[in-house]
Chain A
Amino acid sequence: MDPSTSVPFYPVVEFGPAMRGLAIGAVGIVHVFLAQFAIGGGMLLTYLQWRAGRGDDLARRFIGSFFKYLVLVSFVAGALTGVAMWLMTIQVGPRTIGLMVDEFHWVWATEWVCFFVEVVAGYTFLRVGDRLSDALRLRLLALYTGAAIASLFWINGILAWQLTPGDWVRTHDLWAGFWNPSFWPSLGYRLAVAATLAALAAILVVGTLELPRADRHRLVSVIARLMLPMLAMPVFGLWFMAVIPDDSRRWLTGGSVAMSMFLGIAAGATLLIGAYALVGLVWKHLYASGATAALLLALAFAATAAGEFVREGARKPYTVRGVLYSNAIAPDEVARLRRVGSVADDPYPLRDAARYPNPQLALGARVYRAQCSACHTLAGANALVELMGGWGLEQQRLNVAQLQRTKGFMPPFAGTAAEVEALVQLVRWEHGDALERAWPASDDPAALARIQAWLDEAGPFAAGAVAP
């Protein structure tokens, strides 16, 4: 048998002072922004081409100038940040992406076909678009847009499944997972965002054109219509909030200051853009300069970033709700790991083993790597040393042993009492100016017994979960 397959133990990577979630977040935000721009761009161009076919010459001229940007930005950076997403997801959560691939590879393969069509249709338009009749141009752009929307459609099902896997958890039926509770609100929301981003970018491009002011104004008014779907965003947003799990919702709306703040930023920025776009541009027919559009785009980027944070954050402590914790441990494995230890089977050594004055601290470092490093660093972002270094010894032991009670968005501790103690000792050692001093291993059987009792009392389940 292939020895690499016995237990999915992967080497854990660390991004210096940034936690792993930040690394994937950074790539994800850029990619989502660009990909949604590509979809909205298709919608806008199809609309403008439809107008061109009915004699709107200005729209026709604009299509050519805008399409260049669309290709340069979305085909190049969009496609490549997409590849970057794959590679980055593997880095931060191989077990999660592995599970997603195992379950959904045919959906993903379908998405790939859609993406291929999008690229070929887009490129055909770029190369021969100006030699085609209006009717063919319209069909080609509609194909491009349809394929782009279809890619979003398929990928959206997979991403929404992570947060609300719905009946899939019981039946493991692909379609139960795909048509999950947050499928439609996420799709609707993302489509509205896509249209808005493209409209803003297009207004930015209008500002660069050598056109009489009146023509530019007219173009802006036409383009701004694409922002009308923003009206539906509150509906999709509230719908989304209504279908996500209770604890996720509570966390977003006050349970975590950071999350509530991100949610506020996303909602506030969207509201500002929406107000300006709908009242100013659509209703009052005001003109928007390139500078204004750039400002609004920056706001939209902030909203996208905050929105992605909320989406990622709402899943905690899971990467796939109820199926896999953020630290790549499955809920039904916790009980066993509490007996045998979380790192007993981990074949990967420490890179800095020589640093630790005793084996207990080295064990603590391995436990930290396996169970905490997905969301914490020791001394960088969300640092354990800062969060708990100053606590009393018993407080540290209790709160780590009952991790899911300490904060409901953390998974239960999945190791032995000795591992809790090793982790606590590691944090204490890193916290003090004690780094230089010899550090005796702690071996108080009474303390271990207390930790064990705390572990047992909280049980091996997540805060919101019911024992199966």
Chain B
Amino acid sequence: MSTPYVALLVVTFALHALLIGFVLAGTAYVAIRGLRGGDDPLAAASRDWLPFALGAAITAGVAPLLFVQVLYQPRFYTANLLLFVRWLAIVPALIVGFYALYLGKSARAAAWSARARAAVATLALACFVFVAWSWIEDHALAMQRDPATWAAHYGRGALRHRDPTIAPRLAMWLGVAAAVWPLGMLYAAPGVAPRRLAAIALGGLAVAALGAALAAGATDARSVIDVAAARGWLYGLAAATAALALAWGAVALGRAPARGAIAAATVALALTLAGAREAMRAAAIDPRLATRVEHAQGLPLFVAALALGGAAIGWCLVIARRATRG
């Protein structure tokens, strides 16, 4: 019964993660480059694409937001409600971050000093890191095993949920981001500084692996998250990571980037990561799900919309490509 939901959650969340990765690491690159007082083609190409990437990332996030509500409704809502204004704060943060990206790209900002532009990028980065932190915190709170934790949280009027897994998990996602963004650059700025991109991607993979290991180590019996349940996915994740590391390793050694291979390995990384993530909480799936949504109609409508929408998006990409080539 829950299979189509889990599958769609995994796929759409993987898309969200890829785009968010581009946004997080791209913004960080622009900010760091600017703080060091300079500019380069990678920063320029990132600035150019960041607003769209964020728009797409947010749009991509809406789908998992829907499927999470189907699958883990009581848990997800409870965590949202407990974090309350601290949770709602992600919206203004996103608006500020979004307009900061547009400002950074504008003609007006081009006339500013490098420091001033770096400050704008840093502001955007701070907003996005805050949003990432918030999602992780929300997730950790939602996955508490004992509902008494929630009641105690409410009674205290606490807005934050402290959890030893949050910081390493954030490190993992930032590492993933650094491993994803270079792929985008291979398309947005072909031929520019491939070895630097390789170094960033490899560094990102290392940080991600370390963060994941620390987060797994910090996961304790208070959470319904079951790392062992994801064993199959984790093997796949390890394979995707190794493939990606090899592909970028070759670039670091001076080979021309194999764009297709890097793209395939990156997508595989996102999918297996999303799959592992779901497998770890599958045991906690609301057992009433079957009775709650078994009568839900409309799947054929969605499938048809997906086919039509996919075709429409494909058409857009084709004409965009032709226009930029011609």
Interface positions of A (Cβ within 8 A of B): 1-5, 8, 10-13, 72, 75-77, 79-84, 86-88, 90-91, 94, 97-98, 101-110, 112-117, 119-121, 123-124, 127-128, 131-132, 136, 140, 143, 147, 172-175, 347-351, 353
B228 CB within 8 Å of chain A: no
In the complex, the answer to whether A80 meets B296 with C-beta atoms within 8 Å is: no
8 further A-B contacts with Cβ under 8 Å, apart from A101-B70, A136-B319, are A2-B286, A5-B287, A80-B94, A83-B94, A91-B80, A102-B70, A113-B305, A350-B155
Q: Give complex CA distance A91, B75 in Å.
A: 13
In the complex, the answer to whether B88 meets A109 with C-beta atoms within 8 Å is: no
Give how many A-B residue pairs fall within 8 Å (CB-CB): 195
In the complex, the answer to whether A102 meets B91 with C-beta atoms within 8 Å is: no
In the complex, the answer to whether B287 meets A79 with C-beta atoms within 8 Å is: no
In the complex, the answer to whether B66 meets A124 with C-beta atoms within 8 Å is: no
Give B292's nearest chain A residue, CB to CB: A102
What secondary structure prevails in chain A residues at the interface with B?
A: helix
Give A101's nearest chain B residue, CB to CB: B69
B320 CB within 8 Å of chain A: yes
Q: Give complex CA distance A98, B75 in Å.
A: 12
Interface centre among B8, B59, B63, B315, by most chain A C-beta atoms within 10 angstroms, is B59
In the complex, the answer to whether B320 meets A124 with C-beta atoms within 8 Å is: yes
Q: Which of B38-96 contact A (CB under 8 A)?
A: 52, 55-56, 58-63, 65-67, 69-70, 73-75, 77-78, 80-82, 84, 87-88, 90-91, 94-95
Nearest Cβ on chain B to A439's Cβ, whole angstroms? 23
Nearest Cβ on chain A to B151's Cβ, whole angstroms? 5
Interface centre among B61, B65, B157, B317, by most chain A C-beta atoms within 10 angstroms, is B65
Nearest Cβ on chain A to B8's Cβ, whole angstroms? 8
In the complex, the answer to whether A91 meets B84 with C-beta atoms within 8 Å is: yes
Q: Which of B274-321 contact A (CB under 8 A)?
A: 284-288, 292-293, 295-299, 301-302, 305-306, 308-309, 312-313, 315-317, 319-320
Given contacts A87-B91, A114-B309, A115-B59, contact A348 B298 (CB under 8 A): no
Given contacts A10-B78, A91-B80, A106-B296, contact A101 B319 (CB under 8 A): no
Q: Which one of A1, A13, A110, A347 lies within 8 Å of B305 (CB-CB)?
A: A110
In the complex, the answer to whether B297 meets A174 with C-beta atoms within 8 Å is: yes
In the complex, the answer to whether A117 meets B309 with C-beta atoms within 8 Å is: yes
In the complex, the answer to whether B95 meets A80 with C-beta atoms within 8 Å is: yes
Chain A residues lying within 8 Å of B320, measured Cβ to Cβ, are: 124, 127-128
Give B142's nearest chain A residue, CB to CB: A4
Q: Which one of A12, A80, A106, A351 lies within 8 Å of B58 (CB-CB)?
A: A80
Q: Which one of A87, A132, A140, A353 lies within 8 Å of B87 (CB-CB)?
A: A87
Given contacts A91-B84, A101-B73, A106-B297, contact A11 B150 (CB under 8 A): yes
Nearest Cβ on chain B to A96's Cβ, whole angstroms? 11
In the complex, the answer to whether A349 meets B154 with C-beta atoms within 8 Å is: yes
